[in-house]
Amino acid sequence: MSAMQNGKHETPGEGDHDDVEQLLLQGVTLQQQPSATILPQEATDEDIEAFPDTDVQGALGLFAEAAQDMATATVELGLGRHFACADFCNQAVEKAAQAVSLLRYGRRSRYDHDLRTLGELVGAPPQIIDEMDILTPFHPETFYADTPPEEADEVISAEQASSYVQSARKVLRWARAIVLQL
């Protein structure tokens, strides 16, 4: 079926006015809601309890992105780009934890790039929170505040970068067991 009908551009799902009319007249029940619930930025615990949905597909997709970032981190380590490696480790851990958040709460957890805080928000055990905390300084805004970009790879040794890869892998293993329910 074409996206153009009767000279109008339609996206999939548009154009079925009977369904829209039924939704307007009868409302939406929890059984009809999509699996991903978007809550307002100022959501409270009470809001979360009112919308207990989980976003399984979102969690799986975000965990896949985390795994890709982890692979990129190891490539960057091999290329001697140590800050890039640490940055990708930071990103992988953030995405893995947010995948857990999507699965548990149906939304991403709000935080300020402090991975320890994110770990606490998603219910990570203390040893995983400690591994996450190791990677917090490698968010680019934080790292570049004290280190010029041209010096970034010289500030982190290959051994340090390798240890960051190990920390990130521990976090990803923890998240994988939850997201993939192993």
153-178 pLDDT, tens digit per residue, is 788 999 999 999 999 999 999 999 99
Q: Judge contact between 52 and 150, C-beta under 8 A.
A: no
Question: What's the mean pLDDT in 90-107?
Answer: 92
CATH T-level topology, domain 56-179? Four Helix Bundle (Hemerythrin (Met), subunit A) (1.20.120)
Burial of 91 (0-12, 13-18, 19+ CB in 10 A): buried
| Residue matched to tokens 């968010």 | 139
pLDDT higher than 90, residue 47: no
Question: What's the mean pLDDT in 38-64?
Answer: 63
Give the pLDDT score at 53: 73
The overall average pLDDT reported for the chain is: 77
Across 27-31, 80-84, 127-131, least confident range: 27-31
pTM across the whole model: 0.68
* Residue ranges per structural domain of the chain: 56-179
Phi, psi of 79 (to 5 degrees): -85, -5
- How far is the C-alpha of 56 from the C-alpha of 35, rounded, in Å? 8
Phi, psi of 4 (to 5 degrees): -105, 120
- How far is the C-alpha of 73 from the C-alpha of 128, rounded, in Å? 19
- How far is the C-alpha of 24 from the C-alpha of 115, rounded, in Å? 42
pLDDT higher than 60, residue 80: yes
- How far is the C-alpha of 53 from the C-alpha of 22, rounded, in Å? 23
Give the pLDDT score at 70: 96
139 against 165, higher pLDDT = 165
91 against 152, higher pLDDT = 91
CB count, 10 Å around CB of 145? 9
pLDDT tens per residue, range 5-29: 444 444 444 444 455 454 445 544 4
Residue type, 82: H
CA neighbours closer than 13 Å in the CB half-sphere of residue 143 = 22
24 against 70, higher pLDDT = 70
- How far is the C-alpha of 156 from the C-alpha of 80, rounded, in Å? 10
